[in-house]
Amino acid sequence: MTKQLLAGEVALVTGAAGDLGAVFARALAEAGASVVLADLNGSKAETEAEELQNEGLQAFGVAMDVTSEESVADAFERSMSRFGTVTILVNAAALMKEIPTMDPLALDLTWWNRVMDVNLTGPLRTIRAAVPHMQALGRGKIVNVSSGGAFIPSGVYGVSKLGLVSLTTSLAKQLGSSGINVNALAPGHMNTSSGHEARHHDDALVAALSHAVALKTLGEAKDLVGGLLFLCSSQSDWVTGQTLSIDGGWIMRL
């Protein structure tokens, strides 16, 4: 990975204190970007940022609740004060392990609305905050973290993530004339702490899920980094409205 790939860019990553978000933030910083680590757990985001700062990387941690327009606006204001602009937005904040395991007909609508508010409306809030800054520059990269679960029956989580795919295509069409690329990543079954909690640490289930993918293994967070950097860099300047599946050959769409 070249440290010059994202030199001069400013990236904001939501959910940056989580399993994937923290890896994404580090990868962007190591590629040369100044990175804002935003998370509901502001203290953990600040700790993650301090670790990057101690390695000589440009990073800043900030509290952000993606369900609150005021919180999103405040986080962007603080980010602008620190780095001046934002050219990359990565929407990694999401609910997964917390969601009750029941079908949509049985799920309390309070939970349904909460999942949609975080996983679907949350990215829309942050995109609305980022777009004016990107339009002022005439360019920008937005990457929404969807899921392979968007393409199979997987309850409210899958519905929210498929909605994010649709939002990605809609905004790609709308923002293309402003030089803003909007794409998504769709990770498969991941070997992360949140993934294991969502699977209730069921070794038999893990074995079955691994067997179901072509490469016969769960993914590691680092396996997503190449796709992320591609979508955040100038290498993807002619790519928009796409969802890149990185899942070991789990979801194969014709």
Kindly tell me the burial class for residue 235, based on how many C-beta atoms sit within 10 Å of its own C-beta (0-12, 13-18, 19 or more): exposed
Q: Per residue in 164-196, pLDDT tens? A: 999 999 999 999 999 999 999 999 999 876 655
Longest dimension (CA), the chain: 51
Segment 85-108 shows an average pLDDT of 95
57-71, 142-156, 209-223, 238-252: which range is least confident on average? 209-223
What pLDDT score does 203 carry? 67
pLDDT at 1 over 60: no
Each domain of the chain, given as residue ranges in start order, spans 10-244
With cut-offs at 50, 70 and 90, classify the pLDDT of residue 253.
confident
With cut-offs at 50, 70 and 90, classify the pLDDT of residue 84.
very high
Tell me if residue 157 is catalytic.
yes
Catalytic residue among 24, 83, 151, 157: 157
pLDDT at 226 over 60: yes
Provide the 10 A C-beta neighbour count for residue 201.
9
Which range, 7-16, 188-197, 203-212, 213-222, is most confident? 7-16
Segment 223-244 shows an average pLDDT of 98
**Global pTM exceeds 0.75:** yes
Average pLDDT over the chain, rounded to whole? 94
Top CATH class, 10-244 = alpha beta
What pLDDT score does 152 carry? 94
Q: Per residue in 196-207, pLDDT tens? A: 555 456 666 667
Percent of the chain, pLDDT > 90? 87
Smallest CA-to-CA distance from 114 within 132, 95, 142, 130 is with 95
Segment 109-133 shows an average pLDDT of 98
CA dist 244 and 253 (Å) reads 11
Segment 103-132 shows an average pLDDT of 97
What pLDDT score does 51 carry? 98
Q: Per residue in 12-55, pLDDT tens? A: 999 999 999 999 999 999 999 999 999 999 999 999 999 999 99
Q: Which residues, at least 6 apart from 97, have a Cβ–Cβ distance to it below 8 Å?
A: 194, 195, 197, 198
CA dist 153 and 222 (Å) reads 26
Segment 108-131 shows an average pLDDT of 98
